[in-house]
Structure 1
Amino acid sequence: MKRMNRRTFLKKLMITGIGGILATSFSYGYARFIEPEKLTVTHHIISHPLIPKEFTGTKLLQFSDVHLGHYYGLNRFRYTIEKINELQPDIVLFTGDLLDEPNKYPHIDAVANELSRIRAPLGKFSIYGNHDHGGYGTDIYRHIMEKSGFQMLVNEHVLIKRQNESFIAIAGVDDMMLGKPNFSEMVKSIPDSTYTIALLHEPDGAMQMSRHPVHLQLSGHSHGGQVQLPFIGPLITPPLSETYYEGFYQIHHLTLYVNRGLGTTRIPLRFLSPPELTVFTLQHQVLEKQQDGL
């Protein structure tokens, strides 16, 4: 084996060091300036026997965790609103954390005006996230959402009707970290055998949600970890999103979906966790006995 001389060793060491610096710089640049603006749209079909036939083809759009502030501005938000309208949803659902620091944000009315442009013929609904309550934001957030035509759901539900008086329920529970969640109150008086979709900011509340007659839970909060590494997953997730942090999960009869959100918090980076709008298309599921004519 040929022995490496000192000059060759130093040359290889320098090349390795420069390569490492370039790779680190590229990764940081991508995570800081490219991926946070790579808005993705994911489409899923939700099938269930309790979804009325009249709701087959109904489109629900979920967005979450905008964190408007220093790192997510109004121009990007306007583009997101345009994208939402291009997707032509029937129902729009926001699962919390609109402003990063509500009491410090200077463009409250502008945000309400942008949200008011969202078109959804069957309704627009929202819940509190922890940032919406934080920073003395509880009243600020409610003002924005109600002014823009969103109905706030705080431990309550609404029935969405289509033809022939068929309906589904959209429910919302208060934030688990800074609010006063009441799951039982949320589902109180929902008629039996009603397909129920519940909004809860923190996904790890799914175990509590599964104790109630809810079929689909939509959450955010995790940002998909914001920064993930291959074969490792997210480096860190916020409290109450450590078990469930991205995509679909099944908890007993409850299906959970965790949206990656749009903005960032704490650090302005996203890596292997691009911002997301999620479109769910409802579909009545025909039982096998019905298919067989039995």
Structure 2
Amino acid sequence: MLKRLLKFLLFLLTIAMIIAGFLAYGMFVSVERVNLNYQSAASSKIPKSLNNVQIAFISDIDYNAYMDKTRLSKMMKRLNDAHPDVIIFGGDLFYAPEKQMPDETKQQEVTEILKKLDAPLGKFAVLGEQDLMNADIKNMVSSILYNSDFEMITNQLVRIRKGANASISLIGLDSMIGGQPDISKAFQNVNANEFNMVFTHCPDLIAQLPTNNINVMVAGHSHGGQIALPLLGPLHKMSGAEAYNKGTYKVQQTTLSVSNGLGTRDTDVRLFAPPEIIIYRLAAAK
């Protein structure tokens, strides 16, 4: 009887140590390590001049919480070392700025870090719901992005070229939460014969989009749940990312990639949902 009790207690102790180990990893290791998630987009619509071009997507920096200058600098250095041609920011620069407006020091820190990002074919941005809490916050975030050499593409289409007239289209849409996505305006100059990529904050907006004209869509917002268990998936799903909250999906003719983002909210922990930068490599298929 005593041996059985000891074995049972040893089993419980082992389980407790495993759980403690996972929690320690999620709190002290995973939150610092950014994962470069490489995706490939192959299409005959991609011109040869843009073959192997890399488009990087970053989102949910949440600088006002646990993200600080040291952590963000390391993550952005990792991005620069990947040598992307285009960088897209997908929204939520600061965490809860309506409760604690970032002071000038924090604003300057973020500006200096983002300005160092190098993307020869352009740096573009759309906003998230935390960037749109009020006019002052929107103006502050827009100013930081402008001073960091990002071009806002809210409800706009821009064409990317590289040494030739042939192009692909990047379509930016405002956040479905807190924003005013104008789909008609954003898609008014879409060419169905071009390769079209959509960037927005909330992935569930895809249900309102003409997916027959979208090859790839990339969004953030969900944080991947921050804690996602095998088989069960994210423990927490946010409005705007309930149907699509983590990973890559095929929605009719569109490939949808949902980033885990970079920062954390509420608690500084990530488990099976590491900080993530999605990098799409274009492949001109014959």
Q: TM-score, normalised by structure 1?
A: 0.89
Partner of 1:35: 30
Q: C-alpha separation between the residues in 1 aligned to 2:18 and 2:48?
A: 53
Between the aligned partners of 2:253 and 2:4, the Cα distance in structure 1 is: 61
- Partners of 1:250 and 1:32 in 2: how far apart? 32
Unmatched tracts of structure 1, length 5 or more: 287-294
CA–CA separation in structure 1 for the residues paired with 2:123 and 2:212: 24
Partner of 2:275: 275
Paired residues of 2:212 and 2:252 also in contact (CA < 8 A): no
How much does 1:282 deviate? Answer: 0.6
* Separation (CA, whole Å) in 1 of partners of 2:8 and 2:53: 60
Partner of 2:86: 91
Q: 2:118 — aligned with what? A: 119
Aligned with 2:66 (options 68, 71, 91):
71
Structure 2 contact 126–173 (Cα < 8 Å) conserved: yes
Displacement of 1:101 in angstroms is 2.2
User: Residue type of the partner of 2:163?
Assistant: Q
Partner Cα separation in structure 1 for residue 256 and residue 9 of structure 2: 49
Aligned equivalent of 2:127: 128
* 3-state SS, counterpart of residue 164 of structure 2: helix
Q: CA deviation at 1:142?
A: 0.6
Whole-angstrom distance in 2 between the partners of 1:211 and 1:18: 51
Percent same amino acid among aligned pairs?
A: 27
Kindly indicate whether the alpha-carbon contact (under 8 Å) linking 1:51 and 1:284 is maintained by their aligned counterparts in 2.
yes
CA distance, structure 2, for counterparts of residue 255 and residue 67 of structure 1: 26
CA–CA distance in 2 between the matches of 1:159 and 1:9? Answer: 70
TM superposition shift of 1:279: 1.6
Instruction: Kindly provide the amino acid, as one letter, of the partner of residue 125 in structure 1.
Output: F
Give 1:225 shift: 1.8
Aligned position for 2:262: 262
Contact map agreement 1:259 1:276 (CA 8 A) in 2: yes
Aligned partner of residue 29 in structure 2, secondary structure: helix
Partner residue, 2:21: 26
SS at match of 1:47: strand
Deviations 1:45-80 (A, max 9, x none): 211121111111111111111111231111111111
Structure 2 regions of 5+ residues with no counterpart? none
Q: What is the aligned partner in structure 2 of residue 178 from structure 1?
A: 178
Normalising to structure 2: TM-score of the pair? 0.92
The alpha carbon displacement at 1:16 in A equals 4.3
How many residue pairs were aligned?
281
Structure 1 residues 77-132: Cα deviation after superposition (integer angstroms, max 9, x where no partner): 11112111111111011111111123522211221111010111100011011121
The answer to whether the aligner puts 1:234 opposite 2:234 as a matched pair is yes
Q: Deviations over 1:237-265 (max 9, x none)?
A: 21121221222211122221111111111
Over the residues paired in the alignment, what is the CA RMSD in angstroms?
1.8
Aligned residue for 1:240, secondary structure, equals: coil
Do 2:211 and 2:253's aligned partners in 1 also have CA atoms closer than 8 Å? Answer: no
Contact 2:65 2:265 in 1 (8 A): no
- Equivalent position of 2:47 in the other structure: 52
Counterpart for residue 162 of structure 1 = 162
User: 1:148-169: per-residue Cα shift (whole Å, max 9, x none)?
Assistant: 0000111111111223311111
Separation of aligned partners in 1, 2:19 and 2:144: 40
Contact 1:92/1:124 (<8 A) preserved: yes
Task: Give 2:199's aligned residue.
Answer: 199
The answer on whether the counterparts of 1:210 and 1:252 sit within 8 Å (CA) in structure 2 is no
Q: Is the 8 A contact 1:229 1:235 kept in 2?
A: yes
Contact 1:196 1:216 (8 Å CA) reproduced: yes
Aligned to 1:290: none
What's the CA shift for 1:187? 1.5
8 Å contact from structure 1 (residues 187, 212) kept in 2: no
Q: What per-residue deviation string (whole Å, max 9, x for no partner) do you get for residues 266-285 of structure 1?
A: 22211111111122111112
Q: Distance in 2 between matches of 1:231 and 1:192?
A: 37
1:9 is displaced (CA, Å) by 5.6
**Residue pair 1:102, 1:141 contacting (<8 A) in 2 also:** no
2:57 maps to which of 62, 79, 83: 62
